[in-house]
Chain A
Amino acid sequence: MAFREKSAWISLLATLVVYTVYFYYFGRSLAEGQAFGIGGPIILSIVALVVIQVVLHIVAAIASPSEARAPEDERDQEIRRRANTGGFIMMQCGMALVAASAYFVDKWFMANLAVGVLAVAQAGFYGAVIFGYRRGV
């Protein structure tokens, strides 16, 4: 597997794990009727996401150092460009939903909805990158 595909897998799995944990606690606090502040949990999640990704990327780079150092070529760029487009469309649609939610939910729920949209768009982007490497462009 190419280093950049491995990188996309690492990022996808890290995104899924971190945000699944985040929204598990968000759902639990909702069920218990407690407030779920966005500041602390989201900062913690972003830090966890960065740490997990950096550590796993270092491990992957040690396993194939020459590939890790190689610059992106035209195929890598094309795959990333297409994935960016898909991720951006997902984010636009999601953010329209967040904007519409202002009429129905409080600001904390809305903020968490925005976090959810960002997480889904990010996962979609990495998924599209993997799809591009697997299926071809």
Chain B
Amino acid sequence: MGRPPPRITNQIRKLRFEHGEMTQQALADAIGVTRQTIIAIEQGKYSPTLEAAFRIAAAFGVPLENVFQFTEEK
């Protein structure tokens, strides 16, 4: 039995691309976490705290819902 798909998905990879191929390290430095944490968030292995989520949205200059989406369980 595999890991269930994450209920919180995100567009970080796409947003990094749209922001001049921002590196994971640059984003990590901007919000004060490690690059491994950014990798884990992108892969859906870690859901950041609300504060970190807002910081990520602020780093891209977009509203929170443009970065993170919550999928209702069916």
> A residues bordering B, Cβ < 8 Å?
2, 67, 70, 73-76, 78, 133, 135-137
Q: A19–B36 Cα gap in the complex (Å)? A: 31
Majority SS at the chain B contact face = loop
Tell me how many residues of B have a C-beta within 8 Å of chain A: 14
Q: A135–B45 Cα gap in the complex (Å)? A: 7
Given contacts A74-B52, A75-B40, contact A137 B34 (CB under 8 A): no
B9 within 8 A of A: no
Chain A residue nearest to B36 in the complex (CB) = A2
Q: Is the CB of A70 within 8 A of B40?
A: no
Mark B8-48 against chain A: 1 for CB-CB distance below 8 A, else 0. 00000000000000000000000011101100100111101
Q: Is the CB of B34 within 8 A of A136?
A: no
12 chain-A/chain-B pairs, Cβ below 8 angstroms: A70-B34, A73-B32, A74-B33, A74-B48, A74-B52, A75-B33, A75-B34, A75-B37, A75-B46, A133-B36, A135-B3, A137-B45
CB distance from B27 to the nearest CB of A (A): 13
Q: A70–B3 Cα gap in the complex (Å)? A: 30
